[in-house]
Amino acid sequence: GESVGLHLPTLSVQEGDNSIINCAYSNSASDYFIWYKQESGKGPQFIIDIRSNMDKRQGQRVTVLLNKTVKHLSLQIAATQPGDSAVYFCAETTAFAGGTSYGKLTFGQGTILTVHP
Partner 1 sequence: KAGVTQTPRYLIKTRGQQVTLSCSPISGHRSVSWYQQTPGQGLQFLFEYFSETQRNKGNFPGRFSGRQFSNSRSEMNVSTLELGDSALYLCASSSATGTAQYFGPGTRLLVL
Give me the residues that bind partner 1 (CB under 8 A), please: 3-6, 32, 34, 36, 41-46, 49, 89, 93, 95, 100-110
- Beta bridge mates, 18: none
Short-list 46, 28, 26, CA closest to 37 = 46
State the virtual CA torsion across 37, 44, 110, 52 in degrees, nearest 10.
-80
Comparing CB distances to partner 1, the nearer of 91 and 115 is: 91
Comparing CB distances to partner 1, the nearer of 45 and 67 is: 45
- Output the smallest distance, CB 71 to partner 1, in A: 18
Comparing CB distances to partner 1, the nearer of 14 and 40 is: 40
